[in-house]
Amino acid sequence: MVSIITRAQQLIAPFNNSEYFIIPNAESLKNKIELFRAAGIDNFQIVSDFDFTMTRSLVNGFQGKTSVTIAQNTSSSLERQQVISDLINYYTPIEINHQINEGVKAQYMKEWWAKSSAIIIQDKYDQKELEKVVDDSNVYLRYGIDNVMKICEDFNVPIYFVSAGLGNVIDYFFRSLGFRLNLKIFANYLDLDDEGKLTKLSEPAIVSVEKSKVLQGMKLKSHILLMGDMISDCTIVQEGNYEEIIRIGFVNNPDTANLNRYQENFDFLILNDGNMVAVEKILKLILSNHQETDEAKNLLLHELNLN
C-alpha cells in the first residue's frame, strides 16, 4: 500500500522526547493562568516569534534553517553557502552579546539584513519559485503546532507573529498547513517588482533587537501569551500594552544558554528544542474557562508540573 504523506506531515517534526521544562515560579504561573481564565477568551491573544520558536533549531542533528536562510537557497552553490555562514558567524555573536549597546547592535543587525536580503534578491524569484524553494527546504515546525493553531482557530484567538525573518516564507508555511484566518505576520517582506519578481524589500526593516518597535501604539488584547526563543523576544510586547502576560521560552540549547537570564524573563521554559504540547495544555487551561471539570483541570495542571 502506498502511504501518502501530506505536506503538513512533512513540515511537522516528530515528537521530541528529550524535552524538559523549567517553571521558575509555579505559584505565579498558576495565578496568571487563573487571571487569564477570568478575563475570558475575548481578551486573549498570542504574540510570538517565528524562527526557532515555531520551528525546531535542529533538524536531524543539523542546525535548522530560518525563514531567511531557506530563501537564500543555500543548496545552490558552495560559494554561496560560505558567504551565508560567514555572515551568520560574524553577526550572531553580536546579536546575542548583552554588553553591546542596543542602538549600536541595531545598526549591525540592519547591516546583516541588507547583506543577507541582497542574496535572496539575486535569485529574482516569482511567487511559485519561492514556494518551490520553501517546499524543498528541510524545515521542521515543532510537534503539536497544528493542534495549537487549530485551538486558536476554533476559539478565534488572534495570533501575531513578530519576526525579523522573511514574511513571505512564514506566510507560506501557515498556508501550507491550512491556517491563515486569525494570523497576522509582522516581518520583512519581498514584494513584486514590475516584472513580477520578488525583489522589492519592505521598509522599514525589522531586525531582531528592534522587535519592540513593531507593535508599539497598536491596540492589543489585555491578556497575552508570548512565545520566543531569545530573551530579547520578551520585549516584543511592551509594558503598558497589556494587563497580564505569560511568557513561554524555548531554550533550544541549554548547554550554551544563560539559563538564569531565561528564568528571570520567562514564566515557562521548554528546553532541548522541545514540542508544542505544553503550549497546547496551557492554552486549554486558559480557554476552557469553567466548562471543564475540576478533575480535567487538575490533570492538566499536573501534567504541566503545576500542582
CB nearer to Mg ion: give 230 or 277.
Answer: 230
Specify the residue for cell string 536562510.
69
Q: By C-beta, is 48 or 168 nearer to Mg ion?
A: 48
- Kindly list the distances between the CA atom of residue 257 and the CA atoms of 100, 137, 167, 292, 304, in Å, as whole numbers in the listed order: 17, 27, 27, 38, 23
* Contacting range for Mg ion; rule: CB under 5 A; set: 29-37, 46-54, 80-88, 121-129: 46-54
57 versus 199: smaller Cβ distance to Mg ion:
57
Per CB under 5 A, which region of 22-30, 50-58, 125-133, 146-154 contacts Mg ion?
50-58
273 near Mg ion (CB under 5 A) = no
Residues 6+ apart with CB under 8 A from 228: 48, 49, 53, 234, 236, 247, 248, 249, 250
Residue 54 CB, shortest distance to Mg ion, in Å, is 9
In the complex, the smallest distance separating the C-beta of residue 163 from Mg ion, rounded to whole angstroms, is: 7
Best CA proximity match to 279, nearest among 289, 290, 269, 294: 269
- Residue 51 engages Mg ion in binding (rule: CB under 5 A): yes
Per rule CB under 5 A, count of chain residues that contact Mg ion: 5
**Residue span 6-45 as binding mask against Mg ion, x where in contact by CB under 5 A, dash where not:** ----------------------------------------
Contact code string over 224-243 relative to Mg ion, x by CB under 5 A? -----x--------------
- Are the beta carbons of 149 and 176 closer than 8 angstroms? no
CB of 52 to Mg ion, least distance (A): 4
Q: Which of 36, 44, 52, 189 binds Mg ion (CB under 5 A)?
A: 52
210 near Mg ion, rule: CB under 5 A: no
Cβ partners under 8 Å of residue 282, min gap 6? 33, 225, 246, 248, 268, 304
Task: Decide: helix, strand or coil at residue 54.
Answer: coil
Q: The cell 471543564 sits on which residue?
A: 292
Q: Which is nearer to Mg ion, 125 or 268 (CB)?
A: 268
Q: How far is the CB of 127 from Mg ion (least distance, A)?
A: 25
Choose, by CB under 5 A, the member of 11, 37, 48, 49 that binds Mg ion: 49
Closest CA to 48 of 209, 205, 210, 158: 158
Stretch (H or E) spanning 198: strand 198-201
- Closest listed residue to residue 138, CA positions, set 78, 63, 188: 63
Which positions lie near Mg ion, rule CB under 5 A? 49, 51-53, 229
